[in-house]
Amino acid sequence: MSHWIQEYRMKRKNRFKKLILFGAFVLPGSGHLLFKKNVKLGIHLMTGTAALILLVIFRWYRIIGTFESKAFDHWLAVLFIILSWSAMVFISVKHTYELLIDKIKKPRIKTPLVLASRRFRENKLAVISLYVICFFYLIAVLAPFLATHDPSAIDNVLETRYQSPSWEHPFGTDEYGRDLYSRALYGARVSLSVGFMAVVIAITIGTFYGSIAGYFGGFIDNIMMRFVDVFIAFPTFFLLLMLVGVFEASIVAMILILGLTSWPGTARFIRGEVLSLKEKQFTEAARAIGLPHRTIIFRHLIPNGISPVLVSAAMMVSSMIYYEAGLSFLGIGIRPPTPTWGNMMSAGRDALLVAWWVALFPGGILAATMLSFNLLADGLRDAFDPKVLMRRFL
Amino acid sequence: MLLKVENLRSFFFLDEGILRAVDDISFHVNEEETVALVGESGCGKTIAALSIINLIPSPGRVVKGKVYFNGQDLLKMSPEKIRKTRGKEIGFVFQEPSMALNPVFTVGDQIAEVLRLHMGMGVKEAERETIRLLGETGIPEPEKRFKAYPFELSGGMQQRALIALAVSCHPRLLIADEPTTALDVTVQIGIIDLLRHLQKLYDMAILLITHDLGVVAEMADRIMVMYTGKIVENAPAVDIFEEPKHPYTKGLLGSIPKLGKGSKNPLGGIPGAVPDFLDLPPGCTFHPRCELGDRDCRKKFPKLFAVDYVRQSACYKYYKM
Amino acid sequence: MWRHILKRLAQAIPLTWGILTITFFISHMAPGDPMDMYMEEQRQRQVDPEIIELLRQKYGLDLPIHVQYVRWLGNVIKGDFGESFRYRRPVLDLIAERIPYTLQLTLLALLFSTSLGIIIGIVSAVKQYSALDKGVTLGSLIIYSIPGFWLALMLVLVFSVYLGWLPTSQTRSMDYEFFSLGEKIFDRIWHLILPVFVLGLGSAAYKARYVRNRLLEVLNEEYILSARARGLKEKMVIFKHALRNAMIPLVTILGLHLPALLSGSVLIESIFAWPGMGTLAVGAVGGRDYPVMMATLMISAILTIVGNLLADITYVALDPRVSYEKKKPV
């Protein structure tokens, strides 16, 4: 008898477990909440899934329409939805499974990175800015589905132009009657991608260049830095103006121009960091063992120098976005009808006396984005290098 | 009595807890006397010195106590009054002369500034007096050095300049915080001589703070031993060296390497390590490391009490020594 | 000290040469040559190919590039920046007309940002942890992050359009000629307020933060404690001993901010229709006016170098440690 009861209990337990796993699949995050482990992650997963579900429900037609229209940006957005959903489900199921079988996890080694991320999480402002940034990137990718109108749709201009903000047009309309909210969404795509890619280019080249110069020092350093000095002497905007004037201003050209004008600044900064790292004893030790230069640079110096690089990268994204917007504002960067926050503000400037919203909203979002990146950079800096209270008097 | 310190307490209020850097110390310094405050690094002696002139940086502050100087309680004075006392009546010499002098002003400038402020001298007069002071502290070519910046001087000369700065207004009390620690041994002797010379010249009392027992032996009339923020023994120098009445003092003296005593004898040390200020042992803070320690020692910290006419100790078991 | 200055001057020369060279090569990276652009613009009129050839020869465009480079370099050193395609006037004249306006804006903005930054920084450091201090720390970051041209538009919206307190643009009012001298001066200043304010605000925020942090650092140094232990008055401790040490690196920051301000002036000039080098450059880009583009680029870079040089010299003058580096302890 007891044998049966045990079997029955086992079966019930198994079914129970399967139910939980199924729950984790359908509603990512439920497993975390149930077991009260990693609750924050669970909440994130749940809100994420809920948001996706809402999106899919409200924009069903458009999503289906992607398969017919074959518009590239629509495809990208659909792909993103599928990928993120799969990732959330995967994480949820994996963690829930591990929790069910009571897998013992190794305690996390307190590497500097782990410590830094913990400090970062305690900084509320930094965390908020990180969320804001992720939010902006998210809506930029999903723009085709979030936009309420077609950003280039012009329709009975005389009636629709310069409408002040309303339910239908949260940001109002511009001089051609286009919905500014949708244009801003698409503008986000331009600005954010340009910012990110330009920084990637600048940081990659700059880090290589700067670490080589700083490491070898002496003559090589001298020559390399002379070149950098010349670049830095140009006031950025004038240089950008010239370059954009010489080459056409497409999005790709923008990215290249911004990236290629910024790497000298990064190189100079990295070189400084490498120089100070060089003085530290672990470099001497590495050299004493006889490690080749290449290894010292890549395996030792760069990982240690990563933190200031990240901080400056975050600030640079803010600057890149600013420059792109500035150039477009002047009419030299990306030109209408492609919406970018900069050229929208330019239109806003012309309409300043009659339609204040055209200048306010795109610029406001631009300011918010720049602010978030700067706060993020600040938070990163504080996370990597906390100010220790000086106890020297004892 | 020139200086009388009563129940002085200075704490640091940190996130991790309250750090009792100076925990209820009392002592006095007579006119023209040299008293040494001795202890290992980190025992609170510098804070004690700064507490006397009420200059503890935040997050610390003087919590309780009285510091009578010339009959007045320094801690109760208005900021303006105590400011006038500092530098004029009480001089302070810091440990690292290169850090204690402002790098962007000349040495002469900094000394003359104090002279003009406290002694009311005019510019030319102050300059002359400064040059004289520099000469008196043993700096060669003082007219040249007047215009020199701190970084242009060697360590020894910087310290002499700092001492000149401290005694410029003929203070009654000179507090010297580790004046020789940052210097080479050969230079140290010069500084000790200088301090003795100046003391005689200006009839100053010196409160000497150091962990170097050699310097103490040269200069001190009386010695106070500090451990974890408390004074554990207070006696004339001769008595301390010959017959310490506290196990900690004994341990310190035993740690001094002695020439000739036979290099075969191992250097005596004190077992254990100085405890963390935020996690002090109960009762007598020294008892875990003490050879005489027993259960009574754990109950309550022994307050300083008189062992005889001139000596004080803070050990219940002193008679065993 | 003088050796240091000469050294710096010597370094500035190859730097200048580098700037000139790079400018030349950038402008010649464009596909096609200026003649094609010229032809495009003259599309209306049928230009004889022979004339094009003659013009090519006149401008030396048929010569190999290194020869062009040497010629051009020689001209530039003599001060001849060529002729504007658009205005048919010597570029040098155009720039000479416009530079004073740009310098007005930039230097005033520098002055404004430095004074505001220092004042706020000092107050913030002295009253550490107060509400003011926390506000300044956060506020300066926010101000520093806001794009200048948006702020300009918003301020114009509030102060010019709605409140009518300040003018929207231009350097002077329409009926300027009819003003008395006093009114003229006032009018100029009135028109300068908004542009200078917007241009300098970001820099001011940065400086305030910097001064505050630096001052706090210095106040923790041993020599400040030593100064207090000597009984020096608190005002002297802060304003004489601490400030001097804290300010010295600020000079370098000033030097670094100058190119940023020049950059910023391009946008600000555009918004306020200020007749400076910025608007000239923007117009040149739109009109493919290569000589002007090159000249504005070079002149602004040279201004930057001059500014940095001045900052460097001031730094050496203020900090005795730098020039005495090689001296042995006496």
pLDDT in tens, B196-248: 999 999 999 999 999 888 888 888 999 999 888 888 888 898 888 888 888 88
Top mean pLDDT of A78-82, A195-199, B56-60 is at A195-199
**Residues of chain B contacting A, Cβ within 8 Å:** 12, 14, 19, 21, 41-42, 44, 46-47, 50, 56-57, 59-60, 277
Partners of B64 in the β-ladder: B9
pLDDT tens profile B117-175: 888 888 899 999 999 999 888 888 888 888 888 888 888 889 999 999 999 999 999 99
Q: How far apart (Å, rounded) are the C-alpha atoms in residues A169 and A16?
A: 50
* Distance, CA of C231 to CA of B79 (rounded, Å): 10
pLDDT of residue C60: 65
Across A29-33, A212-216, B51-55, C57-61, the highest mean pLDDT is recorded for B51-55
Is C283:C266 a contact under the CB 8 Å cutoff?
no
- Measured in degrees and rounded to the nearest 5, phi and psi for residue B73 equal -80, 110
In this prediction, residue B286 has a pLDDT band, given cuts at 50, 70 and 90, of confident
All residues of chain C having their beta carbon less than 8 Å from the beta carbon of residue A324 are: none
Residue of B nearest to C226 (CA): B100
Our CA-based measurement puts residue C262 at a distance from the nearest CA of chain A, in whole angstroms, of 7
Tell me the torsion sign for CA atoms B270, B273, B278, B283: negative
Contact B114 C222 (CB under 8 A): no
Average pLDDT, chain A: 82
Q: Which residues contact A179 (CB under 8 A, 6 or more apart)?
A: A147, A148, A149, A151, A153, A169, A171, A173
Q: Do A375 and C262 touch (CB under 8 A)?
A: no
Residue C83 main-chain phi, psi, to 5 deg: -120, 140
Cα angle B101, B105, B109; round to 5: 95
Tell me which chain A residue has its CA closest to the CA of residue B40.
Answer: A394
The pLDDT confidence band at residue A1, using thresholds 50, 70 and 90, is low
Q: Are B5 and B25 in contact (CB under 8 A)?
A: yes
**What is the percentage of chain A residues whose pLDDT exceeds 70?**
91
Q: Which of C281, C135, C116, C301 is nearest to C198 (CA)?
A: C116
pLDDT digits (tens, 9 = 90+) for A276-289: 877 776 667 777 77
Distance of CA C198 to the CA centre of its chain: 14
pLDDT tens per residue, range A245-287: 888 778 888 899 999 999 998 898 888 888 887 777 666 777 7
Pair of tokens at residue B110: 């900094």
> pLDDT value at position C323?
60
What's the rounded Cα separation, in Å, for the pair A93 and A24?
A: 5
Chains linked to C by 3 or more Cβ pairs within 8 Å: A, B
Residue in the block written with tokens 């030792």: A300
Local structure of residue B236 (DSSP, 8 states): E
Residue A316, pLDDT > 70, answer yes
For residue B17, give every residue at least 6 positions away whose Cβ sits within 8 Å of its Cβ, in sequence order, or none: B278
Nearest CA-CA distance, residue C258 and chain B, Å: 26
Q: What count of other Cβ atoms lies within 10 Å of the Cβ of residue B124?
A: 9
| pLDDT score recorded for residue A3 | 80
Q: Does the beta-carbon distance from C225 to B57 stay under 8 Å?
A: yes
Cα of B192 to nearest chain C Cα, Å: 21
The answer to whether the CB atoms of A394 and B50 lie below 8 A apart is no
Q: Does A349 contact C153 at a Cβ distance shorter than 8 Å?
A: yes
Cross-chain residue pair A389–B14, CB shorter than 8 Å: yes
Q: Which A residues in the span 45-64 are in contact with B, Cβ-Cβ below 8 Å?
A: none
Complete domains list, chain A, with CATH: 8-105 (no CATH), 157-393 (1.10.3720.10)
What is the distance between the alpha carbons of residues B295 and B316, in angstroms, rounded to a whole number? 11
C262/A242 Cβ within 8 A: no
**Which among A389, A391, A394 is the nearest to B44, CB-wise?**
A394
- Partners of chain B (3+ Cβ pairs below 8 A): A, C
User: How far does A387 lie from chain B, in Å, by closest CA?
Assistant: 14
Written as one string, the DSSP assignment of B14-55 is ETTEEEEEEEEEEEEE-TT-EEEEE--TTSSHHHHHHHHTT-
User: Which residue of A222, A242, A322 to mutate against C (max C Cβ within 10 Å)?
Assistant: A242
How far is the alpha carbon of C302 from chain A, nearest alpha carbon, in Å? 8
A31, A39, A85, B201 from A21: Cα distances, Å: 8, 17, 16, 89
Q: How high is the pLDDT of residue C50?
A: 73
Distance of CA C14 to the CA centre of its chain: 21
- DSSP 8-state class, residue A386: -
- Rounded to whole angstroms, how far apart are CA atoms C256 and C241? 25
Alpha carbon distance C5, C2 (integer Å): 5
A388 pLDDT more than 50: no
What local confidence, expressed as pLDDT, does residue B263 receive?
61
Q: Which of B31, B32, B35, B36 is nearest to B1 (CA)?
A: B31
Using the Cβ of B60 and the Cβ atoms of chain C, whether some distance falls under 8 Å is answered with: no
Q: What is the rounded average pLDDT for all residues in chain C?
A: 82
- Is the distance from CB of C156 to CB of C194 less than 8 angstroms? yes
Minimal-distance CA residue of chain B relative to C230: B87
| Residues C233, B117: C-beta atoms closer than 8 Å | yes
Of the two residues A370 and A104, the one the predictor is more confident about is: A370
Q: Which residue has the tokens 């220790």?
A: A388
Given this model, what pLDDT does residue A18 score?
A: 78
Q: Which of A392, A365, A263, A353 is nearest to A316 (CA)?
A: A263
Q: How confident is the model at residue A163 (pLDDT cuts 50, 70, 90)?
A: confident
Q: What is the reported pLDDT for A381? A: 83
Q: Distances from the Cα of B279 to the Cαs of A192, B19, B47, B299, C111, in angstroms?
A: 52, 9, 19, 16, 54
Q: What is the pTM for the complete model shown? A: 0.82
Q: Are A232 and A362 in contact (CB under 8 A)?
A: no
Rounded Cα distance between A307 and A212, Å, is 18
Using a CB-CB cut-off of 8 Å, the residues of chain C touching A363 are 147, 149-150, 153-154
Cα(B131)–Cα(B147) distance, rounded to whole angstroms? Answer: 10
> pLDDT for A15-60, tens place per residue?
777 777 777 777 777 777 777 777 788 888 888 888 888 888 888 8
Helix (H, G, I), strand (E, B), or coil: what is residue B321? coil
Tokens describing residue A127: 């965390």
Radius of gyration of chain B (CA): 20
CA distance B209 to chain A (A): 13
**Residue A351 in contact with residue A162, Cβ under 8 Å?**
yes
Interface contact flag, A393 B14, Cβ < 8 Å: no
Could you read off the pLDDT of C186-207 as tens digits, one per residue?
A: 888 888 888 999 999 989 999 9
Distance between CA atoms of residues C42 and C47, nearest Å: 8
Contacts of B5 (CB under 8 A, 6+ apart): B25, B26, B27, B28, B52, B65, B66, B67, B68
Chains A, B: CB contacts under 8 A, how many?
18
What number is the average pLDDT over the span C115-139?
87
The verdict on a CB contact (< 8 Å) between A237 and C26 is no
Residues on chain B touching C222 (C-beta within 8 angstroms): 94, 96, 99-100
Q: Which residues of B touch C241 (CB under 8 A)?
A: 102, 105
Q: With an 8 Å Cβ cutoff, are C231 and B87 in contact?
A: yes
Sorting pLDDT into bands at 50, 70 and 90, what band is A391?
Answer: very low
Record: contact A353-C161, CB cut-off 8 A: yes
Distance (Å, rounded) from C-alpha B151 to C-alpha A372? 44
- Residue in A322, A345, A373 closest to C153 by CB: A345
> Does the beta-carbon distance from B148 to C221 stay under 8 Å?
no
Contact B83 C222 (CB under 8 A): no
pLDDT in tens, C206-254: 999 899 988 888 888 889 999 999 888 888 888 889 888 888 888 888 8
Dihedral (CA of C231, B208, B192, B184) sign: negative
- The label of the residue with tokens 């094009």 reads C52
Q: Which residue of B has its CA nearest to C320?
A: B104
Percent of chain B having pLDDT more than 90?
A: 18
- Termini Cα distance of chain B: 31
Restricting to A residues 71-110, those with a Cβ less than 8 Å away from any Cβ of B are none
DSSP string, B88-114: TTEEEE-S-HHHHS-TTS-HHHHHHHH
Are C104 and C272 in contact by the 8 Å Cβ rule? The answer is: no
A91-106 mean pLDDT? 75
- Rounded-to-integer distance, Cα B151 and Cα A309, Å: 35
For residue A113, give both structure tokens: 């990175």
CA count, 13 A, side-chain hemisphere, B67: 23
* Cβ within 8 Å of residue A261, ≥6 positions away: A231, A236, A239, A240, A243
Closest CA–CA distance from residue B112 to any residue of chain C (Å): 12
Q: Which residue of A has its CA nearest to B45?
A: A394
> How distant, in Å, are the alpha carbons of A157, A373, C145 from that of A380?
47, 10, 16
Chain A partners within 8 Å of B59 (Cβ): 389
Smallest Cβ–Cβ distance between A233 and the set C30, C147, C305 belongs to C305
Element (H, E) at B173: strand B173-177
Is the CB of A389 less than 8 angstroms away from the CB of B59? yes
3-class DSSP state of A183: helix
Q: What are phi and psi of B261, to 5 degrees?
A: -70, 10
CB-count burial class (<10 Å; 0-12, 13-18, 19+) for C68: middle
pLDDT at A56: 84
Substitution target from B10, B12, B228 for chain A, most A beta carbons within 10 A: B12
B151 touching chain C per CB within 8 A: yes
Q: What is the pLDDT of residue A258?
A: 92
pLDDT in tens, C260-302: 898 889 999 988 888 888 898 888 887 778 888 888 888 889 8
| Closest-CA residue to B142 (of B129, B156, B124) | B129
Please say if the pLDDT value at position B261 is more than 70: no
Whether residue B21 and residue A394 make contact (CB cut-off 8 A), yes or no, is yes
Whether the predicted pLDDT of A217 surpasses 70: yes
- Does residue A71 carry a pLDDT above 90? no
Does the beta-carbon distance from C301 to A233 stay under 8 Å?
A: yes
Answer whether A388 touches B (CB < 8 Å). Answer: no
Residue C184's alpha-carbon distances to B198, B272, C83, C180, in angstroms, are 69, 82, 34, 6
**Three-state SS at A113:** helix
The CB-based long-range contact list for A212-219 (8 Å cut-off, 24+ gap) reads A212/A297, A213/A267, A213/A271, A213/A274, A214/A270, A214/A271, A214/A272, A214/A273, A214/A274, A214/A275, A214/A278, A215/A274, A215/A278, A215/A293, A215/A296, A215/A297, A215/A301, A216/A293, A217/A275, A217/A278
Assess contact for B127 and B108: CB atoms under 8 A. Answer: yes
CB of C253 within 8 A of CB of C210?
A: yes
Chains in contact with A, where contact requires at least 3 CB pairs less than 8 Å apart: B, C
Please say if the pLDDT value at position C129 is more than 90: no
